[in-house]
Structure 1
């Protein structure tokens, strides 16, 4: 069964196979019959719409004249592209995000509505998920989503750790999700997480004049391999939007950087968090 959204690994393999074909100076129309594929099938493979087995990948490497010393790495990539991510054990519809985040080396997240998932306590996460009235979930579904969120957070303490640049609108700190006690615990958790060397937390003060961030939240994912382009993810009620065009990603990163320049610095942000905790 194919996934509703190609995994990051499958998309990474698809980009590589297309690049190798182009380097061999073969068009899809020329390469497909030599591989005993239809042009439509080869096109779907290169767009990650369809997966591809290891035997077909070997045929491609042979046809494209790829040196033998490069084969093991590419074949290993093909094997991994067919693996189902750990999140599937939870039956999670993650809108194609979790598999990308799992491969990312850095996350740049701007949140207008709530604490970023990587920084949520279990109780806060449960309260947020319970507020999604448009999506009916069983208790097991909610428990699974919480388990996935907690597992994602473990990467912040891995070696090497996931880098997180989190920018939060001040309104998030005052939104009473789950009650006063829960919010106090969540804000204290933000203070604790901000002490990690790989986590940078900034708060965009409510007194800031109108800015681009009012248009909505977004996440930019960056990967360790410079050949893998940054990806923008935008969550919305009907699904998730993935943007990969360079101009789109650049626009989002420029917006993120601009918002950071207008936000409180990390130390000032923590001071504000402590103040809000005292006032709760």
Structure 2
């Protein structure tokens, strides 16, 4: 059996919180649901429950019909197959996290963030990697990144805030710079340039991304990529510390309006 997806784990945790709020032990709840104790344990650890079984849990835990919607939505999301599967990606990586997030804050040292990249910039990035990939692989990655960018427009748009270090703009051509400013005009997108004149800062430790979710409990995740892969952190205190760092970096950076002007001047020089 494959590991539970991020969505399934979140649903299991939400059901566990409801059980504890109702003052029921896992064994008591399992007995009243006519479940095997181990089955309820597996559900709370990320095994997807049957729909009617989940409704029975909500009823037992005292959730009113008028309060069920967020949990039904979580169950539906945990049940669906992500759009990224045909591209050969599973539910354990960053894309499934980003897809569910309502807010993303990204700090970038070396690259223009993926959600703001033009196709030509994407292609240059992939071709510049040490590991050589086939043309088909590159086109697949471009298609994935382009699909991700759809979340910035339309209904239910992702709230996106990017703080980008000056060095990351050096390899961006005029069309890429103008595209950043075009995206920055969207009401849900905020872009800030962090110039070298700001001096040394916490961001020198590396790029990172913070994702906020609308799940019951309003959880957040810290996502960090590294040469050997990537990791995501859910520990509340560590995520909180990272949010403070991002807030500090955004204060050191140019304001969004100043950033648009600075990027515009940079584009005019290219």
- TM-score per shorter chain, which class? 0.7 to 0.9
Could you tell me which of 208, 228, 236 is aligned with 2:218? Answer: 228
Counterpart in the other structure of 2:259: 269
Could you tell me which of 234, 249, 272 is aligned with 2:239? Answer: 249
Could you tell me which of 171, 174, 193 is aligned with 1:184? Answer: 174
For the structure 1 residues 30 and 130, does the alpha-carbon distance in structure 2 shift closer, same or farther, using more than 3 Å as the test? farther
Task: Tell me the alpha carbon deviations over residues 98-118 of structure 1, each in whole angstroms, 9 at most, x when there is no partner.
Answer: 222222222111101100111
Counterpart in the other structure of 1:56: 53
User: What is the alpha-carbon distance in structure 2 between the residues aligned to residue 62 and residue 199 of structure 1?
Assistant: 40
- The root-mean-square deviation of aligned C-alpha atoms, in Å, is 2.6
* Matched positions, count: 269
| Structure 1 residue 276 displacement after superposition | 2.6
Unaligned runs of 5+ residues in structure 2 are none
TM-score (norm 2): 0.87
Could you tell me which of 189, 193, 211 is aligned with 2:201? Answer: 211
Counterpart in the other structure of 1:77: 74
SS at match of 1:86: coil
Unaligned runs of 5+ residues in structure 1 are 177-181
User: What is the alpha-carbon distance in structure 2 between the residues aligned to residue 228 and residue 122 of structure 1?
Assistant: 34
SS at match of 2:237: helix
SS at match of 1:159: coil
* 1:53–1:78 CA contact under 8 A, matched in 2: no
For the structure 1 residues 275 and 72, does the alpha-carbon distance in structure 2 shift closer, same or farther, using more than 3 Å as the test? closer
| Structure 1 residue 33 displacement after superposition | 5.5
TM-score (norm 1): 0.84
Task: Tell me the alpha carbon deviations over residues 210-248 of structure 1, each in whole angstroms, 9 at most, x when there is no partner.
Answer: 110000111111234563212211122333222222211
Counterpart in the other structure of 2:100: 103
Counterpart in the other structure of 2:14: 16
User: What is the alpha-carbon distance in structure 2 between the residues aligned to residue 140 and residue 33 of structure 1?
Assistant: 53
For the structure 1 residues 217 and 132, does the alpha-carbon distance in structure 2 shift closer, same or farther, using more than 3 Å as the test? same
SS at match of 1:220: strand
- Structural mapping, 1:135-150, within 5 Å: 137-150=133-146
Counterpart in the other structure of 1:179: none
* 1:12–1:228 CA contact under 8 A, matched in 2: no
Could you tell me which of 122, 130, 133 is aligned with 2:127? Answer: 130
* 1:92–1:145 CA contact under 8 A, matched in 2: no
SS at match of 2:200: coil
* 1:231–1:249 CA contact under 8 A, matched in 2: yes
SS at match of 2:18: helix
